[in-house]
Amino acid sequence: MMTYIIPFLVLILVVVFIHEYGHYYFARKYGVGVTDFSIGFGKELFGWNDKHGTRWKICAIPLGGYVKFFGDRNVYSQADHQEIIDKYSKEEQEKLFTLKPLYQRALIVFGGPLANFLLALVIFFSIYTFAGKDFTPAIINEVQKDSPAMIGGLKNQDVILEIDGNKVKSIMEVSKFITLSTGDVIDFKVKRTNTELILKIKPNIVEGEDGLGNKINKRMVGIKLGAYNNEVNHIKLGPAQALYHAVHEVYFVSISSLKYIGGMILGKADTSQLGGPIRIAKISGQVATFGVLAFISMMAYISISLGLINLFPIPMLDGGHLMFYAFEKVLGRPLSQKTQEGFFRIGMFLLLSLMFFTTFNDLKDLGLFS
């Protein structure tokens, strides 16, 4: 258990801290008072006060965190401004989040997801700069008999150029692009001698295991790959190239995640792959055995996921508050407290439903449900 718990705690501590620090940074920048900066929920295990009066603390339940602002009751979307003005002195009002201009409130809320994307960017940039990135072209060494690849027209010695419009810059990307595809067919653009062809392959969905031994439904096309001319091309990138590829990876993961979620909503993607804290703990422990590089790569992907999920327009998430601000901008006033409370009830229902579903998947993954 400790081989799972320790990597999980490290991952959560870093990713959640960065997220909450994004909120904290912009709050301090715009003069908002911050009373608490907490990693985890529940009983405080230990903490300290800084010179600005903020209580920094680690709490018992390490499944998130929060930044609490001065005078906070529901300061992200407070509508009763006059009551607040009457309650606090002029000096105290300067530290209140809810009395700040709309753009400042929006930036403070957006700061959390932004920090998660920046963390992923820094991780990918560092990996590409110091460890390098693979640019080995992918060539098909074998097409299995009667496989979707053979039926679709793929042949030995075809060089894979694109999959579903995504350029294949490395042999390592082929499996990733196939896995992330959600359509009934996958478009392969290949180079055959001096001709470029686009072939449509309908994958088989089979039960299998990922590289860590976890059960998944795999999309299989029936090909075996090799390095082009048997040459591996793994190089360390300069700062400009590393930044370009880091930005591209963050963008690709974000867009692919949104497409996959859209596919699940439409019933086209595999919902069994949606997991919660238990699965993250299990996978983080497994990935940690492959070394620091694999672990921090996973941290980057989890950070992107956290930033992305928090931008969903669901009340109680950062995206829900930004949605309220959009209404405030259009209407010229905040939504009424009653309307906001109605949205929050809907948001609570959606989040609890998601938690139930992911927990069920986690327990099923552990073999507790068939």
Give the mean pLDDT of 289-316: 87
DSSP 192: E
CA 110 to chain centroid: 15
**Residue 276 scores a pLDDT above 60:** no
Is-contact 195 158, C-beta < 8 A? no
* Cα separation, 370 vs 362, whole angstroms: 12
Indicate the pairing of strand 166-167 with strand 159-163: antiparallel
Instruction: Tell if the pTM clears 0.85, that is, is over it.
Output: no
* Cα separation, 311 vs 109, whole angstroms: 10
Going by pLDDT thresholds of 50, 70 and 90, the confidence category of residue 358 is: low
E-strand ranges in the chain read 34-49, 55-69, 133-134, 138-143, 159-163, 166-167, 186-192, 195-201, 204-209, 215-220, 223-227, 234-235
Burial class, 295, CB count within 10 angstroms (exposed 0-12 / middle 13-18 / buried 19+): middle
Specify the higher pLDDT residue, 1 or 165: 165
Going by pLDDT thresholds of 50, 70 and 90, the confidence category of residue 361 is: low
**Residue 238 scores a pLDDT above 90:** yes
Q: What is the pLDDT of residues 30-43, one digit of tens each?
A: 999 999 999 998 99
Q: Tell me, what's the pLDDT at 34?
A: 94
* Residues classed as catalytic: 20
Indicate the pairing of strand 204-209 with strand 195-201: unpaired
HSE-CB at 277 with a 13 A cutoff on CA atoms is 10
Q: What is the pLDDT of residues 39-77, one digit of tens each?
A: 998 999 999 999 988 999 999 988 889 999 987 655 444
Mean confidence (pLDDT) of the chain: 83
Specify the higher pLDDT residue, 203 or 358: 203
Q: Tell me, what's the pLDDT at 22?
A: 97
Going by pLDDT thresholds of 50, 70 and 90, the confidence category of residue 287 is: low
* Cα separation, 14 vs 202, whole angstroms: 40
Residue in 259, 257, 277, 326 with CA at minimum distance from that of residue 110: 326
Domains of the chain in start order, with CATH, are: 2-130+300-365 (no CATH), 133-235 (2.30.42.10)
Give the mean pLDDT of 101-113: 94
* Cα separation, 246 vs 118, whole angstroms: 10
**HEC string for 258-277:** HHHHHHHHCCCCCHHHCCCH
Going by pLDDT thresholds of 50, 70 and 90, the confidence category of residue 274 is: low
Q: Tell me, what's the pLDDT at 200?
A: 93
Q: Tell me, what's the pLDDT at 352?
A: 74
Give the mean pLDDT of 243-249: 94
Is-contact 263 269, C-beta < 8 A? yes
Structure tokens at 33: 């008072």
DSSP-assigned letters across all residues of 304-334: HHHHHHHTSS-TTSHHHHHHHHHHHHHHSSP
Q: Tell me, what's the pLDDT at 80?
A: 55
**Residue 211 scores a pLDDT above 70:** no
Q: What is the pLDDT of residues 139-150, one digit of tens each?
A: 999 999 999 999
* Cα separation, 271 vs 265, whole angstroms: 9
